[in-house]
Amino acid sequence: MIYEPNQCPIRFGLGVFGDHWSLLIIRDMMFRGHTRFQDFLDAGEGISTNVLSDRLSRLEAQQIISRQKDPSNGRQVIYELTDKGKDLLPIMLTIFAWAEKYDPKTRVSKELAERIRTDLFGARDEILATIKQSI
C-alpha cells in the first residue's frame, strides 16, 4: 500500500467530506431524504446559505450529488445522491457503529451496530497487524 499524498485513500476521502458540513449534507440526503436547498437550511444544523451553496457546488463537481431543476416547479432545484454518493453508506454505517459504542447519547439501532461490528470491528487488531506489514 502506497501513501504518496495523492495516492492516499484517506486524503481522497477528506477531499470530499473533510470539512464540517459535507458529511452532514450527505447524511441528510441519505437518511432524511432531503433534496432541496431549503431542506438543508431547515435541518437545524445552522449552516449558512453561502456555505451551503459552496458545498453543494463542490459535491456536484465531485459527482457525489446531482443537480436538476424540478420540472413541476421552476424555482426549485432537486439535489440527489449519485451512485458514488450512495456508496458512502458503508462509511456512514461504520461511523454509526463507532459512535454507538463510544457516545452514550448516540441513538443507533443496536442490531445494526452489532451487525457492522461483527463484520469489521471484531478482527480489528488482526487486520491492523496485517495491514501494517504490507505498508
Partner DNA sequence: TATATTGCTTGCGATTTGCAAGTGATGTTA
Partner DNA sequence: TAACATCACTTGCAAATCGCAAGCAATATA
Closer to a copy of itself at the Cβ: 21 or 56?
21
Site residues for a copy of itself, window 23-52 (CB under 8 A)?
A: 23-24, 27, 30-33, 44-45
Compute the least distance from the CB of residue 8 to DNA, in Å: 16
Closer to DNA at the Cβ: 53 or 130?
53
Site residues for a copy of itself, window 6-25 (CB under 8 A)?
A: 6-14, 18-20, 23-24
Residue ranges in contact with DNA by CB under 7 A: 19-21, 36-38, 46-51, 53-54, 56-57, 67, 73-77
C-alpha 42/C-alpha 44 separation (Å) is: 5
**What is the residue whose three cell numbers read 432537486?**
78
Closer to DNA at the Cβ: 80 or 114?
80
**How many Cα atoms are found within 13 Å in the side-chain-facing hemisphere of 100?**
18
C-alpha 85/C-alpha 59 separation (Å) is: 9
Using alpha carbons, select from 63, 56, 68, 61 the residue that is nearest to residue 84.
63
